[in-house]
Amino acid sequence: MATLLIAVGAMIGYLVAYHTYGRWLARKIFQLDPSAAVPSIELNDDRDFVPTDKSILFGHHFTSIAGTGPIVGPAIAVMWGWLPALIWVLLGSVLIGAVHDFGSLVVSMRSKGQTVGDVAGRVLNRRTRLLFLLILFMALTIVLAIFGLVIAAVFKQYPAAIFPCLVQIPIAVAIGVWLHRRNGHLLVPSLLALATMYLTLVFGNSGPLGALNTVMASWSIMTWVIILLVYSYVASVLPVWTLLQPRDYINSLQLITALGLVVVGLIVAGLIGGAPLVDGGDRIPLEISAPMIRANPEGAPAVIPFLFITIACGACSGFHCLVSSGTSSKQIRCETDAQFIAYGSMLTEGFLATLVILSCVAGLGLGTVAATGDVVVGQEAYLARYASWASASGLGAKVGAFVDGSANFLQAMWIPPAVAVAVMGVLVASFAGTTLDTACRLQRYVIQELAATFVGVQDEPGSDSSPGNPLTWLQNKHGATIFAIVLALLIAALPAPKTPVSLGQAFSGDLPAKYLADQGSDLASAATAGGLSGGLWWLSTFAGKGGLILWPLFGATNQLLAGLAFLVIALFLWRRNIPVWFIVLPMLFMLIVPAWAMLSDLNKWFNSEQPNWIVILFGITTLLLEGWMLVEAIIIWPKVKGVLELSAVAPQRET
């Protein structure tokens, strides 16, 4: 019953927060005006700046900010017990994360759709614009390099999710054309799309489609990375109404429906118990099987500060300021839609993170398969996944804990196990996919803005770029996107950290027998038959995981980015004599705690037996850039109260 009370209490709490604190921010602080000019109408180019219905934009915004973050983060953080994770999600999302997202959207919306990096250049100075854009570039490079691996890993773990995810693309294009060209209504295409996607979930893993899923699941990680990055290129350069908006919208329909099923299943399990382990057996009572607080899990870092960078999406994430200021601000049709799109999306994500926590600490207890092959319940089920930090740290372990736990909720209301697992597997893969294509478009904007800086384009109207500068081509949407994709691909193609063989062995095909045996019979058989040789070893065995090299940086860098976005929002308000007291504590928290975590990590990396100097160099560089920006802000703060910055001008990018 405690599980059910937490879920219902969180839902009510989020509704109250939206209609109280969210409304106060909208009316008293940001003073949203339904008649105010917005960039999507002023700068409408039918490509990036497109006025969009708030329900469609909510779908794009929610699925883009969520990704796998609110799943993976909480699924590992329950290692420290369910209470610390739950408190950070509930309070963080309402008081910090939603304020951060809402403020980023409003500031960008009132700056002609400029990204938060460009806004920093006006409210602070030109140096900070370059610093901020470099930080954004580094963060997005890591996202693009790693998310292809994430999606490929989910597809390999849950092959039934492949076809349902792929079929979303033609459905999205059809809806996009329907809405844009014919100005059709949303109801009928939405219902048809939702029905089609759920039919593919139920029947998409049987017969020829099931065989197709099996074949695609066998593809190498690098194959999937290439396919997904090519898709991201296409989605990034097409007009937003063609693919990005409608795909995110129909994804949001499916994802919110899936979350609704989880809630209903949780209620059923809470009232009558989970599904019996055997036909005709007793239902299993729904109970929290994890400890409330677990002070010293084996191998885990200290809960403070690492809880606050482990759970980012779901509580507060710096990546969200990129979505708010990068894409959503260019599509919002009316200022008053901002509360629903930004504050509402963050609260929805917080509720998703709450359900993830409950799935891992209570849903798993309804039955999971232990390493021995036995089905265990209750506390044994929790410990089967969370015996130590190492046992729960892999992507498969984290995703698996959520998928299995939430699927148990669905099975409580008589949904077949295979369908239940497929529904939740598609949810994870779809969230990851929407983040990848949005991140690619955001990286394109950042590269174009950086290129404009280096070729001489300034913020003032009428300035010209240097025609002979070799970086001019990066102002073009295709040039910028290709640069982003190729860079991500090169990083992904590197071997994963701690690869157990040398590069020479990888390229020659002369791999140790023990390594072959560890990889499974299929790879060993292919080697014996001579089916893999030379560089093919690289593609099939190693490539695709290079993003893991930089991934340790992302948690702290992402959260430091949130602190810097808060700084920009605060200065924007400070210059307009608008109160900033409500933002000071969240800003300081998101600047100090992630820096603490980064310094702790740097100390660990320095003292390891084989220091990863690439990660160390990037970590130090990030701290120096952000420290420099903070010093600039401290110097300028007392001088600019009530002093408006230069007016924003429309982004000057080649198309």
Average of pLDDT values for 171-195? Answer: 81
Dump pLDDT digits (tens) for 262-284. Answer: 999 999 999 999 999 888 888 99
Dump pLDDT digits (tens) for 1-23. Answer: 789 999 999 999 999 999 999 99
Dump pLDDT digits (tens) for 419-469. Answer: 899 889 888 888 888 888 888 999 998 998 888 877 764 444 334 445 556
Residue 302 pLDDT exceeds 80? yes
> What's the pLDDT at 649?
67
Residue 343 pLDDT exceeds 70? yes
> What's the pLDDT at 426?
86
Dump pLDDT digits (tens) for 40-59. Answer: 999 999 889 999 999 999 99
CA atoms within 13 A on the CB side of 210: 8
Give kind and range of the element (H or E) at residue 368.
strand 368-369
> What's the pLDDT at 497?
67
- Top pLDDT among 568 and 511 is at 568
Residue 340 pLDDT exceeds 80? yes
Which residue blocks in 456-546 are alpha helix, DSSP H?
Answer: 477-492, 503-508, 513-519, 521-528, 535-537
> What's the pLDDT at 518?
47
> What's the pLDDT at 273?
92
Per the CB < 8 A criterion, the answer to whether 625 and 131 are in contact is yes
Per the CB < 8 A criterion, the answer to whether 449 and 477 are in contact is no
| Class of domain 2-457+467-493+546-639 (CATH, top level) | mainly alpha
> What's the pLDDT at 280?
80
Dump pLDDT digits (tens) for 463-497. Answer: 444 555 667 788 888 999 999 999 999 888 877 66
Per the CB < 8 A criterion, the answer to whether 221 and 145 are in contact is no
Single-letter amino acid, residue 398: K
Lowest mean pLDDT among 174-183, 262-271, 301-310, 379-388: 174-183
Residue ranges of domains in the chain: 2-457+467-493+546-639, 503-542
Average of pLDDT values for 139-168? Answer: 86
Angle 198-202-204 (CA atoms, 0-180°, nearest 5)? 95
> What's the pLDDT at 582?
94
Percent helix, percent strand, percent coil in the chain, to nearest 5: 70, 0, 25
Q: Report the alpha-carbon distance of residue 633 to residue 236 in Å, rounded.
A: 33
- Top pLDDT among 394 and 369 is at 369
Q: Report the alpha-carbon distance of residue 645 to residue 112 in Å, rounded.
A: 14
Written in H, E and C, the secondary structure of 117-145 is HHHHHHHCCHHHHHHHHHHHHHHHHHHHH
Residue 527 pLDDT exceeds 60? no
> What's the pLDDT at 468?
55
> What's the pLDDT at 435?
83
* Segment 627-630 long-range contacts (CB within 8 Å, at least 24 positions apart): 628/127, 628/131, 629/120, 629/124, 629/128, 629/131, 629/132, 629/564, 629/567, 630/564, 630/567, 630/591
Average pLDDT, the chain: 85
> What's the pLDDT at 62?
94
Average of pLDDT values for 556-575? Answer: 94
Average of pLDDT values for 211-231? Answer: 88
% of the chain exceeding 90 in pLDDT: 48
Q: Report the alpha-carbon distance of residue 79 to residue 383 in Å, rounded.
A: 10
Q: How far is CA 384 from the centre of its chain?
A: 27
The pTM of the full predicted model, rounded to 2 decimals, is 0.89
Lowest mean pLDDT among 126-130, 136-140, 162-166, 178-182: 178-182
